[in-house]
Structures are given as C-alpha cells and as structure tokens.
C-alpha cells in the first residue's frame, strides 16, 4: 500500500481521534492531560471519558499513529501508573491529511457562499 493510500484509509477521523492527535501535536502527554487539553481547546464541546479516551488510544496505538514514550517525568511529579503518549510521524501525516480534508471542504463551502446569510423574501 502506498503511504498516501495508507494515510487515507484512516480518513475521515472521528472527532475524538482527531482531537487526541491534535493534543499530542505539541508534545507528549499522559491520558488525563490529553483529556483536559481537548476539553479546554474545544470549550468543553468534545468531552472524553476514561472509556472513550483509552478505547481511542488503544486503536491509535495499534495503528501506529501514536506510541508510548519512554520518557518519564521527575519522580516527584510522576505517578507510576501514568504512561505518556507521543505522536508518531505517521500519526502526524494522518492528522495533517485530516486537517487538509476539512480545509478543502471549508473552501468549497465558501465558494458556494454557504456562509452568506439567506435573503429574506
């Protein structure tokens, strides 16, 4: 399978998956941090629970979009149960492809003047 095709087979991403990838775009995070960041960034519109978060992490991890980081924070801050996740190169490609897909959709919507207020008769 060509790399492009492989990327496309993940599209469109679910909202939760896309936001998890996005949360990891600026560095590794542990589960709770991902959950908090997604909630903050979407103004609480995308709310993950423990179940959905780890269900998605498991799938992203087995597909190679994210990976577990070997880095551990300082002992004082570290909770031994916490694992940190990072975005893989492939994961970044998928996230970019998804963002592009959404952008194209947006461009087309603009071209159709979808955002103009309808004239009242």
Partner 1 sequence: MEKETQPFSQRLFRALVRVLPFDFRTNYQGEMEGVFREQRREVEQHGGIFEAAKLWKETIVGIFTTAPREHWQILTSDCAYAVRVMRRNLGFTLMAVLTLALGIGANTAIFSVVHAVLLRPLPYPGGQQLIFIRQREKQIGVEDLRFSVKEIEDYRAQNRTLSGLVEFHAMSFTLFGHGDPERVRTGVVSYNYFDLFGVKPLLGRTFLPDDDKLGAPPVLLLSYEYWKNDFGSDPQIVGKTFEMNDKIHTVVGVLPLVPQYPNENDVYMPTSACPFRSNKMHTESRDMRMMEVFGRMKPGVSAGQANADMATIAAGLKSSYPQSYPDNVGFTSSAAPLLEELTSKARPTLLLLLAAAAFVLLIACANVANMTLSRMVQRERELAVRTALGAGRSRLLRQLLTESFLLAIVGGLLGLLFTYASIQLLAEFVGRMTPRAREIHIDSGVLLFTLAAALGTSIIFGTLSALFSRANVAASLKEGSAGSGTGRRQDRLRSTLIVSQVAFSFMLLIGAGLMLRSLFKLQQVDAGIMPQRVLTMRTSFNWSKYDDDEKTRLVVQKLLDRVKTEPGVVSAAISSRYPFEPEIITAGAAAVSFNFQIEGRQLRPGEAPPVSTYASVSPDYFKSFGIPLKAGRLFADTDAPAFKAPDVVIINEAARHQLWPNEDPIGKRISADGGQHWAQIVGIVGDVREFGLDHPPSPEFYGPQAQGPQPAALVVRTAADPQSMSRALTRAVHDVDPQTAVTHILSLEQARYESLASPRVTSSLLGIFAGLALAIATAGIGGIMALMVNQRVREIGIRIALGARPASILQMILGKGLLLAALGVAIGIAGAIAMTGLVKSLLFEVPPTDVVTFGAVGLTLFVAAALASLLPARRAAAVDPNVALRAE
55 lies in the binding site for partner 1 (CB under 8 A)? yes
51 lies in the binding site for partner 1 (CB under 8 A)? yes
CB of 99 to partner 1, least distance (A): 25
Nearer to partner 1, 52 or 69 (CB): 52
70 lies in the binding site for partner 1 (CB under 8 A)? no
Nearest in space to 89 (alpha carbons), one of 66, 68, 69: 66
CB of 81 to partner 1, least distance (A): 4
Nearer to partner 1, 55 or 64 (CB): 55
94 lies in the binding site for partner 1 (CB under 8 A)? no
Is the alpha carbon torsion for 37, 43, 46, 52 positive or negative?
Answer: positive
Alpha carbon 3 to chain centroid distance?
A: 19
SS3 21: helix
Q: For residues 11-30, which are near partner 1 according to CB under 8 A?
A: 30
DSSP string of 27-89?
A: S-EEHHHHHHHHHHHTTTSS---HHHHHHHHHHHHHTTSEEE------TTT--TT--EEEE-H
CB of 51 to partner 1, least distance (A): 3
Which residues would be at the binding site for partner 1 (CB under 8 A)?
Answer: 30-32, 35, 47-55, 57-58, 79, 81-83
């Amino acid at each position: 399978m060509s790399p492009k095709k492989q990327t496309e087979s993940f599209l469109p991403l679910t909202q939760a998956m896309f936001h998890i990838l996005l949360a990891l775009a600026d560095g590794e995070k542990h589960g709770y941090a991902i959950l908090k960041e997604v909630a903050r960034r979407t103004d609480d519109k995308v709310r993950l629970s423990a179940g959905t978060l780890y269900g998605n992490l498991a799938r992203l991890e087995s597909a190679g979009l994210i990976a577990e980081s070997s880095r551990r924070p300082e002992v004082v801050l570290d909770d031994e149960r916490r694992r940190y996740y990072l975005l893989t190169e492939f994961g970044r490609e998928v996230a970019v492809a998804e963002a592009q897909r959404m952008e194209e959709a947006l461009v087309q919507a603009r071209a159709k003047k979808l955002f103009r207020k309808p004239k009242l008769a």
